[in-house]
Amino acid sequence: MDRNSRASVQIPSSRTGGLSGVEPQAPDKRTIFCNDRKANLASPFMSNSISTTKYNIFTFLPKGLFEQFRRVANLYFLAISILAATPISPISPITNVVPLSLVLLISLIKEAFEDSKRLQNDKVINNRMIDVLQDQTWESIAWKNLQVGDIVKVKQDGFFPADLLFLASTNADGVCYIETANLDGETNLKIRKALEKTWDYLTPEKASEFQGEIQCEQPNNSLYTFTGNLIIQAQTLPLSPNQILLRGCSLKNTGYIVGIVIFTGHETKVMMNSMNVPSKRSTLERKLDKLILALFATLFGICLIGAIGSGIFVNNKYFYLRLDVGGEGSAQFNPSNRFLVIVLTLFTLITLYSPLIPISLYVSIEMIKFIQSTQFINKDLCMYHKDTDTPALARTSNLNEELGQVEYIFSDKTGTLTRNLMEFFKCSIGEQVYGTGVTEIERQIAERNGMKVEENKSDTAVQERGFNFDDDRLMQGSWRNEPNPNICKEFFRCLAICHTVLPEGDESPQKITYQAASPDEAALVIAAKNFGFFFYRRTPTTIYVRESHVEKKGKVQDVPYEILNVLEFNSTRKRQSVICRYPDGKLVLYCKGADTVIYERLANGADDIKKLTREYLEQFGAAGLRTLCLAYKELRNHVYESWNEKFIQAKSSLSDRDKKLDEVAELIETDLILIGSTAIEDKLQEGVPACIETLQRAGIKIWVLTGDKIETAINIAYACNLISNEMKKFIISSETDAIREVEERGDPVEIMHFIREQVKKELKSFLEEAQSYLRSLNGQKLALVIDGKSLMHALDPSLRVMLLNLGLNCHAVVCCRVSPLQKAQVTRLVKKGARKITLSIGDGANDVSMIQAAHVGIGISGMEGMQAVMASDFAIAQFRFLADLLLVHGRWSYLRICKVITYFFYKNLTFTLTQFWFTFQTGFSGQRFYDDWFQSLYNVIFTALPVIALGLFDKDVSASLSRKYPGLYMEGIRNVFFKWSVVATWAILSVCQSLILFYFVILSSSGAKNSAGKTFGHWDVSTMAYTCVIVTVNLRLLMTCNSVTRWHLIGVGGSILAWFIFVFIYSVVRLENVYFVIYVLMSTIYFYLTLLLVPIAALLGDFIFQGIQRWFFPYDYQIIQEIHRHEPDTGNRQQLLEVGSHLTPSEARSYAMSQLPREVSKHTGFAFDSPGYESFFASQFGVYAPQKAWDVARRASRFRAPKTGRKK
């Protein structure tokens, strides 16, 4: 059969005689037969259909219920419900089944809703259409029907349906441009180049002739690596990531491409990376688990008391109760077997007291946190960045309250504290330094030293995005007059050639734009353009540079440089090299990278330029500039050819390809000639110094972890107020003269041992000095600065404890020259070693491990893509928004969740104890006090709404006051509101209230009669007591609130009203127990007197306790409330004015609503004024002034006196 006449999907493999001849896949590699579906059927390749849902129609109920019953509270109530169905239970199973069912129903509905959205999204993606080669024509099929080995055609702006091997494109030289925003958030275009052998397979007729075999790695989640070979026409061609088009990316600036499917569905790299961010639980939630265990212990304790009481109570002297008569349940009260009585009564009471465990607590907290995240954090206009149109984003709602307890912040520098808008600012070429500008850091250094710096711009100064250089010695061809014009020429060529930048737009200096992997690289290419070496075009093999003034001043010529090899930058190599061929055939290697790695690879000699360049680098670092060294080397043809063979072998390797490529690169990157250095300025973000100062006043310690030189990092730390002149600084550096002497001897073992001993010695010395400073009276603040080499040794298990203790004693820590791994290690050291709540914030892929290691991870949506954001728990656009996120939203969330938990504990304990006291009146028999439905609906209906309002709208002080007094945040760090002492206080008040509620109602009803002259019965008394409980616990919530809004009133009033509506209806339809009870009660004066007086009596003790606490032992926020009690909250609205005119229509509506009059706090003072504010403000300024109750009372009248003069 003629090859061209066959359908492409039926082409048999050239390597097999049929399916039986196909060899099984090796476990470490994948073999794909191109354009041959039959041959590929023998391999278990996945389909291209994807599913991101958690459930399907068969697994939803069992898997959903399993997820719910993993919670201890739900499992407990399931056991109680089962127990309630037994004869020993005094209550109907409905009492526990109803609340459990409601909780499960709400949770399952939420899960189903979220999963249905995933399902709809999956359907849309799976049913997208793609052109596939069939019968020498392009046929459109759904993405889900694609198979490995298919040849597909993707048009411009289309998305790649699977991971493809790039064969051909409509662009010249087999290149295409792709956007990877869906993978890493980067919008800059990236170039991909097909193998030259496959460029012709562009038309369907030609593509149908393609036969080949791909041998590659098995599917993995590494986005930036690929190892494989294409075997075609008896040739083995190495494949690299440059030939791979990943699913989720889109095609740009290219008519269409042709590719072969290599990975499908869930085996594509993007799907293998789509796992969730590691699940984090807040510290408060873990403490809540302990409280639940304490409630279990309490439950078991009161049940055991009741059970023992029952075993003592049953006695033959109560013969008239006929306890020993046989019948159903008689064994439970048989005096002849008291042990059995105790055991059975224990289970009876467990079912009776089951409401003590708050089944709706977790659901309520989840709901509160979800609304806090979506409605408060995400829509806060104070954290909206108008320049980039970026709001804050809570990617999880699990950690809201954790934001209110952070004690240590670990921050990246570039793009986090700085803008990541790089500008070429200064440079050194040969032995000369160029650039007369003054950086922000230099100005601040001069100000600290009492000097004034003036900056004069020259006429030749050029300023454009990425270039802010001023020195007429290099501009407009003046470099030809310098003493080193040849070195200048090599310097400019290195900038113009050694990069991976893509030019876009018109090939003119004014209109061209550059797509670069990093802002640094773009700034260097822009600098070359301004110096007269204009890079304007790139093909897969050639770079075109328009060079000015090279042969003579004013002459312009276009020079093509053939790019033979690119040795790419990575975090291990810390350098990038390009080998190019000049038009005259000369071979040159250009290299740029960190000074530490470049200096190690320089040729011997030229010591003057090395020494001077090192001095210039230190000057640049002291000015806060980012530095790189530039070097070059001329190559001989035979040396290059020999090396290139090794390079091709390493590139073709299927195992450890990256490692082998690095080893081969080391062979050629030697004996380099130093050209000079570059210095790039990255300015601080707006508001960073003020934000850091505010966070430090809040008791938060900030550690900056950066890859910059130690001088740069120190000066940035000064500029952003992290370090001040008043601080004592401990510097641990590997750049000392003693260490350099050892390094010059070249023995790696000796170097490692010497540095380790030096680090150990300095750690020990500094730790002793720090402890002596802390014991002294002056209380000087301390700062630690340590570089990467020293940190590597300091993180050794034998030294890390000293490092941790020293770091914890310091007010600020700066770690320089650190790797991404070291960032994560330092974060984990404090998180686990000090057991403090940590927060990491960064903007790049190198910050992901640090972000995931901390309790809370914050991503900055900046210039380095969205990798950090996608790995984070919260995302903000600017570092300064961190103050609002922590001091306002974090503190409010912590305070609200603490109150919700303690209030839940209080109301459930109060309700259960009234039933417990009734047990003493019934001979410990387990008789129920309340009707089954009363008990069932207590948590889920009659007390549910107010606690939601408490968790959402309670506010101790306004957002503006939270910013004004950052010291308020320390209450969260100290966990003031969720200590065992707080829980114990609530428990004592609950016990007292339950006693009053039960015995006052019992006593008031003992002689009461209804309108028919009959005394009140059991159900009359229990209904009255239940009504008093509902009213009391709801009113107690209002006393808990710091501010009362309409939502609080609606919640409390609605809950009490819901109880009365329910009991009115239920008393009619229930033909036993409580039939018509409420109508009988409301016909008597006793009911109204009891309903009025009993809640007042129950709450009186709480009221007195709160008054004493507020008067003599006020919290910090209560002091602020008293100071500002008569001031309306207008601070937020003033700040919103600046963003009000930059909003979308929907945001404008939200903004307009925020301007409406608000409820003003009505319960900030509780009629008590606390004059004891001196200690709070003393603490704000670092002075220890303990507050004494007698001192507060003595000044009370003096504080209150000015109020009499207030205007009416």
| Residue numbers annotated as active site | 412
State how beta strands 812-816 and 250-252 pair.
unpaired
Look at residues 59, 54, 65 and name the one whose alpha carbon lies nearest to residue 113. Answer: 54
Q: Which amino acid is at 248?
A: G
Cβ neighbours of residue 163 under 8 Å, at least 6 residues apart?
244, 245, 246, 247, 261, 262, 263, 264, 267, 268, 269
For residue 965, the 8-state DSSP code is -
**Closest CA relative to residue 37, chosen from 131, 132, 103:** 132
CA dist., res. 32 & res. 1100, Å (int): 80
CB 335 within 8 A of CB 323: yes
Torsion on CA atoms 867, 871, 873, 875, rounded to nearest 10 = 0
Q: Which residues on adjacent β-strands are paired with residue 628?
A: 678
Compute the distance between CA of residue 865 and CA of residue 872 in angstroms, rounded to an integer: 13
Rg (CA), the chain: 37
Positive or negative, the CA dihedral 136, 147, 9, 238 is: positive
Q: Is 661 in contact with 240 (CB distance < 8 Å)?
A: no
Tokens linked to 951: 């968790």
Token pair listed for 318: 């109560």
DSSP 778: S
The pair of three-digit structure tokens given for residue 227, joined into one six-digit string: 């190892």
CA distance linking residue 682 with residue 425, whole number of Å: 10
- Taking the CA atoms of 1145, 1148, 1153 and 1157 in sequence, report the sign of the dihedral they define: negative
Output DSSP code: residue 384.
-
Q: Using DSSP bridges, classify how beta strands 812-816 and 701-705 pair: parallel, antiparallel or unpaired.
A: parallel
* Distance of alpha carbon 685 from alpha carbon 417, whole angstroms: 6
Among the listed residues 934, 926, 945, the one whose alpha carbon sits nearest the alpha carbon of residue 1025: 934
CB atoms within 10 A of CB 1083: 12
CA distance 1206 to 410: 48
Find out whether 441 and 624 touch, Cβ atoms under 8 Å: yes
Buried b (16+ CB within 10 A) or exposed e, 240-255: bebbbbbbbbbbbbbe
Print burial letters for 777-794: b (CB count within 10 Å at least 16), e (below 16). eeeeebbbbbbbbbbbbb
Q: Quick one: tokens of 858? A: 């914050």
Q: What are the φ/ψ torsions at residue 81 (nearest 5 degrees)? A: -65, -40
Q: Round to whole Å and give the CA distance between 464 and 526.
A: 9
Q: What is the DSSP letter of 155?
A: E
Calpha distance 56→609 (Å, rounded) = 69
Amino acid at 410: F
Structure tokens at 414: 């570039």
Q: List all residues 6 or more positions away from 562 whose beta carbon is below 8 Å from its beta carbon.
A: 541, 542, 580, 581
Structure tokens at 726: 């008043």
Rounded to an integer, what distance in angstroms lies between the CA atom of residue 45 and that of residue 53? 21
CA 431/CA 674 separation, integer angstroms = 10
Q: Are the C-beta atoms of residues 698 and 967 closer than 8 Å to each other?
A: yes
| Separation of alpha carbons 891 and 1179, rounded Å | 18
